[in-house]
Chain A
Amino acid sequence: MIHILKHTHPHLQSPPSLRARVGSVLALSLIACGLIVTTISGALAQEEDAPKGIEVPVSAQQVKRVLIALPPAINQGASADTVGISERLSSGVERALTLSGYFDFLERELYPQDPSAEGMNPNFTSWFNAGTQGLVKIAFDLQAGDDVKVTLKLFDIDQKKPISLAGGVDQTVTLKRDPAVLQAHIARFVNQVVKYYTGTEGFFGTRIAAIRKVGRNKELVMVNPDGSRVGTLAKSGGINLLPSLAKGKIYFTSYRDGGPNLYLYERGKVSRISGRKGINMGGVLSPSGGFLAASLSFQGSSEIYLLNPKSGDVLRRLTRNGRIDISPTWSPDGKKIAFVSDREGSPQIWVMNSDGSNQKRLTYQGKYNQSPRWSPNGDLIVFSSRDEKYVFDIFTIDPNDPSKITRLTQNQGNNVEPSWSPDGRHIVFSSTRTGRSELYIMTSDGFTQRRLTNGGGFTSPSWGE
């Protein structure tokens, strides 16, 4: 008998618009997310022996979201906007607020009449009656040459007052009209809007290393979490895999000279860290930066070792059995390592001390659990698992209480290779929900999921500072 959890995530299709509506949709979603389980008897048609998948419903929402109004940018100057600055600023702010995961947008038809007429001094009562909680106003003034004066301003409608954000990001600034310059300013502003509402700055300014398939090759790329820029690093014309970004270094696996071998990309240079016989892959730097955990098979089967992060010398062998031991991920205090082992017959998440002692199996649900990543605050391990419908989805498990498993994705293609944002509030992952493999960012409860990349072929994200 195979259990199918049947429902769709309501907010993935249509974000709510009004505060009142948010409440009702949330109430519905909490019921739907937690409780509806449909049981279907019989086996799915699969040619291989069908392992029973992981059976966990999608979790309820934990992260608070704020309703924001974002009226069109106001041209405060005499020059007509013939270069599309208005659209660039408005769409840039909307996209950044959307990706941050904490905001919904008030529907435009609910705005007060002609919001431009009030300029940068909003009528708080009108906006309050429209139902919004926050208001972001954008103004610009095209200058001679390539400059533009830009003002981004946050108003707390509930409290009926303008907000002064840290770092002066809401002061009027003169910027070049370069899209990258404008985007960088927007990112700084939205980071502070996020901080105002959540207490912690947003994730813009961090980086995501990933792999992009280009033709027959897989290249190492860097993506900004606002999706603004994609750059190819260490172009090799071959297969590159499994990047791990930390402390300005990217360890990655490549077939560029045989392999698979382990490499380090740092400041534009690539050096080989381990090219031993067999497999050399998946290097992950310890939180202190003193050790590199990696999977090597030069002594037989793939085992986890601690290496010198610069020389690649073996410092310690951590696992010792004839089966597969891979995918190490460090606890934030560096005392433990979670990893994947199939020593008991199927790939499962295990945990050990970082000296290799006390190896214990963590996951017992599901027959195919992979790609663990320990959260930056240590309370969760995110991983991907093949579920009861033979589809890969993303789950979290509490390493201190393995009975606490939370499902983050469902009914949206294959969702794999999760990686935490440095502050642990978001997860980037790879999904095939549009038919192509793209990177998505979701809040750590899975409630808000936004597509980051466009163009297809993106996999293996690793989110770092």
Chain B
Amino acid sequence: MYDQKPFTRPSWLLSLPLSLMFLSGCGGAGPAKSEMTKAVSSLELARKTRCPHESLPIAEKAYEDSKRLFDEGKYDEARAKARVAQRLSAEVTQSNGGKPCEDPNAVKSEGESELFPPEINPPEEVTAEEVPEMKTVYFAFDSSALTPETMETLEQNIVWMKANEESSVELGGHCDSRGSSDYNIALSERRARAVEGYILKSGVAPDRLEVVAYGSERLASQRLDAEGHKRNRRVEFKAR
């Protein structure tokens, strides 16, 4: 039992929005809004297929989340969520070969498929020169989970891949130096495969991606402190 409460409720509540503002980063509302608009279109197409796909409710939720985050002023996170909603919607839309699930008369014709193009999100209107280099994504200890920040970076990397369609990309999974080398190899592969799975949903051809599990054999940092370990838990993108 506490004799005294460590925080009083009002100060706790006051500090929350301040910290959220701090965490939200410096992304603007414009790009987030643009992604959310695309998410709405993607969701609409996905719903039209009437395909009972497990990703649809997740896409709906991601979009709802993006709206909430936008309202809270967390534009970077809202943009990431909107892109997640787009990707998952596209997955639903393409789940039946780009055709509605409840249309028994669906014919495999060129015209029909135009209604449900495999690439829902039009490629960004940028040239290869304007696209920034692909960036490394990072992971928590013993984890291969993709955080909103990771997804945001992946979305940028996907833009690069779509602008450089002749390139294949090595997804190099890495771990920090702690733990056994075999476990680290397996964990690094799982990280790279999580990234691969996300990218494939965007429509990048599978044969352009190659997963390599480096374990803890190619450290980005030789430091043995928390910061060094953090820099080592990563998936690197190498264009070939």
Contact = CB atoms under 8 A, between A and B. Distances in A.
B217 interface: yes
Contact of A326 (B140, B186, B214): B186
B137 interface: no
Contact of B140 (A48, A295, A327, A347): A48
Contacts of B187: 324
A278 B180 contact: no
A262 to B, nearest CB: 11
A370 B142 CA distance: 13
A391 B179 CA distance: 10
B238 interface: no
B149 to A, nearest CB: 15
Which residue of B140, B182, B187, B217 has the most chain A CB atoms within 10 A of its CB atom? B182
A242 B189 contact: no
Interface string A41-73: 000001111000000000000000000000000
A295 B142 contact: no
Nearest to A346: B142
B90 interface: no
A297 B212 CA distance: 11
Interface string A19-58: 0000000000000000000000000001111000000000
Given A47-B226, A255-B217, A346-B142, A279 B178 contact: no
Nearest to B211: A278
Given A46-B226, A326-B182, A347-B183, A368 B189 contact: no
B189 A239 contact: no
Contacts of A394: none
A239 B183 contact: no
Given A48-B141, A49-B141, A279-B213, A242 B186 contact: no
B141 A260 contact: no
A217 to B, nearest CB: 10
A44 to B, nearest CB: 11
Nearest to B187: A324
Contacts of A295: 182, 186
Interface string A411-441: 0001011000000000000000000000000
Contact of A242 (B182, B190, B214): B182
B181 interface: yes
A452 interface: no
B119 to A, nearest CB: 27
B177 to A, nearest CB: 10
A281 B182 contact: yes
Given A326-B183, A347-B183, A416-B180, A239 B217 contact: yes
A281 B217 CA distance: 14
Given A46-B226, A255-B217, A278-B213, A324 B181 contact: no
Contacts of B185: 241, 253, 260, 279, 281, 302
Nearest to A367: B142
Contact of B230 (A47, A260, A281): A47
A453 interface: no
A5 to B, nearest CB: 20
A302 B186 CA distance: 6
A218 interface: yes
A386 B181 CA distance: 14
Q: Which 6 A-B pairs have the closest CB atoms?
A: A48-B141, A370-B180, A47-B226, A302-B186, A324-B186, A371-B180
Interface of A: 46-49, 218, 239, 241-242, 253, 255, 258, 260, 278-279, 281-282, 295, 297, 301-302, 324, 326-327, 340, 342, 346-347, 368, 370-371, 384, 386, 392, 414, 416-417, 459-460
27 contacts: A47-B226, A48-B141, A48-B142, A48-B226, A241-B217, A253-B182, A253-B185, A260-B185, A278-B213, A279-B189, A281-B185, A297-B213, A301-B189, A301-B190, A324-B186, A324-B190, A327-B180, A327-B183, A340-B180, A342-B142, A347-B142, A368-B179, A370-B179, A371-B182, A392-B179, A417-B180, A460-B181
